Structure 1
Amino acid sequence: MAQGKRALSAQQVAALSDNGTHRVDNQLYLQIREQGTRSWVFRYSRNGKTHWIGLGRASDVPLSRAKELAVVERAKLVNGGSPIEERRAVKESLRLERQVQSDVPTFAWCAGEYIEGHRASWKNQKHIDQWESTLRMYAGPVIGKLPVDQVTVDHVYKILKPIWLTKPETASRLRGRIEKVLGWAGAKKYRAGENPARWQGGELSHLLPAIGKVQKIEHHKAVPHAEMRGLMADLRKLESISAKALILLILCASRTGEIIGARWNEIDLDAATWIIPAERMKAGAEHRVALSSEAVKLLKSMERTSDLVFPGPRGKLSNMAMLQCLRGIRGTGETVHGFRATFSTWARDETDYPRELIEASLAHAVGNAVEQAYNRSDYLAKRRSLMDAWAAYLAGKGQRPT
């Protein structure tokens, strides 16, 4: 390092604005990042390798103090010490001391407490299951048993890196969930300092590419409506509860959660209407389903052995049961959710029913906020005609409906 360069004054340091690392004094630099954060770093070389040591944020440490800290680090070098190794030794000592003396809970325990505390505010069991499964599967092996105050950016990076490019949506949600659990732990005073899972302004944004730059939007693969008659014929040959659930899902253009959570007391077979409560709907609003004559026939043929229409071995039917049934018939990658797109495409391409009826059948909001406020109708009677036409088409009986 050249010693002849003059040190910068406080005024000159304050004027620095370009992203990068700027020399301020002998071995003392100011690092400016894209988010605008400014921090002091000390630079030294040992055995031909350059090392950088953080000395604190510029907002917390004034220039005069940063110079003093740089003098301390230079003294260590003169005495043959290694600043980085000394810091590592101190951190390891503190870590071991915390393990022996601290009663700080593990990350897994904190995650469980966070989920339990927010369970009542989440709209469906599927959301809760996803929280539990992603944290257990991805975070658990790395930090599950670790005291929550010892979770670092390195840990979070280790969790996210394997799936950041291959499963970007899962990775993004997982990062957010880890951030919230660590934020909860901070609020409970189980840990202090910055949240290592934070993205905006956090260190992760320097280690991983932005999700928006790598994520490819992939729609749920759907069975073409021209092939639905053959599929329905194959499903009707099966007697399994999952096959019957899938048939009703297709006939009603419903979502998986709506079907597996369906209860007999929600269904009026005489009125051919199924009322799904708000807590099980994606939009959080009650939805009336117009049951076609085929749907009513299916439901009347089923034995009632539970409050649930489609009970499973451990209560309600598994989220995967209908997908496994579909895969057994077609191994071409279509999804259960894709049947909603199949219905929508058929209705738009093969019928003259208006858009608002199709969207209402899918429990989608139609129009802007003002239109929704004044239009209180859900078009149930008209939707019944559409769903009867869909059922007839699936059975091979339909002409072009209007």
Structure 2
Amino acid sequence: MALTALQVKNAKPGDKLTDGGGLRLDVDRNGNRAWVFRYTSPVTSKERYAGLGSAGDVSLAQARDAAQEARALIRKGLDPIEHRKEQRQAAKVEASRSITFKAYAEQFISGREVGWRNDKHRQQWRNSLRDYAYPVIGHLAVAEVDTAAVLKVLRPIWSALPETARRVRGRIEAILNSAKAEGLRTGENPALWRGHLDQVGLAKRRKSDVKHHPALPYAEMPQFWKSLVTDTSDTARMLRWIVLTACRFNEARDMDGAEVSGDLWTVPAIRMKAERPHVVPLTPLAIAQLPFRPVSDVSLSSCIKRHTATPATTHGMRSTFRDWAGDCTSFPRDVAEAALAHVVGDETEAAYRRSTALAKRRELMAAWANYCTKDSVNVR
């Protein structure tokens, strides 16, 4: 039997009043009245309940109209709830066409830079996008940035400024991922590297183009450490941290104390060259170097020169570690490569190795600390 407006008005807590055709008025224990459409999904054949609004806002006649529209969708083989979700998503994407890539990128950075400890890191994000991305795609709607647009940003700088180009690509990818998560984009990320941009002619650097950083021969490391350990400056503490963890300069420079938990240091993906989190097992000696005030790479280079006459760089300390691991230990190659956060094999294989090699990497880093400090008295 069809409901009347008076019945709707006088409905009591706990009532479930049927109007017919799947339309029902439900009243909760607090007296709140809501329209519900009960139906069997033509897609899943399961019973579902679609809310049609509060009876205070939607009249009986309006609820009947909404139920009628839902029944029409079902006759077409569409699920009313899913259809409504798709409409809302489409409306959101349409609204995003008024949000430019530049406007969204600035919003993205502002929302995350509070967690970026280093001012230089903030500056690099803004400056790289300002100089290379915004002039090309800044005016485009965030929903309309496609592969062709990303390539238009990257191709002019890919060979001339390879490191800058890599970082710009990663930043564009992060921004577009966020936009998709907020429902402002659909589809695959056009700035994705693996399986996408790596297939469209952006050549990798040839080995002959790679310039190697001068590295301290590992045979000289114990003597170098013996001198370095007498230096109690923040610069020396940071350098000892880099040596003991085999990390990159920027990973140490931008480190936040919250990244260290117990004897593990988790470097977030945003600071990693491979753009995925890296877990570093810490020896007691490495932990003893904390905290330190981050300094520039120039300061670290000066510190190296104070403690050895051999030409060497901060980044070269990673090569020192790798040469020692290969020549002086029996640890498998993939364990040493994992310690350096190098990509070995495909993505699945690399993920497996990261998860299984941690115990072995603990042993490797402990052996490295023992080698560096032999015949030394360490200052903690």
TM-score, normalising length: structure 1: 0.44
TM-score, normalising length: structure 2: 0.46
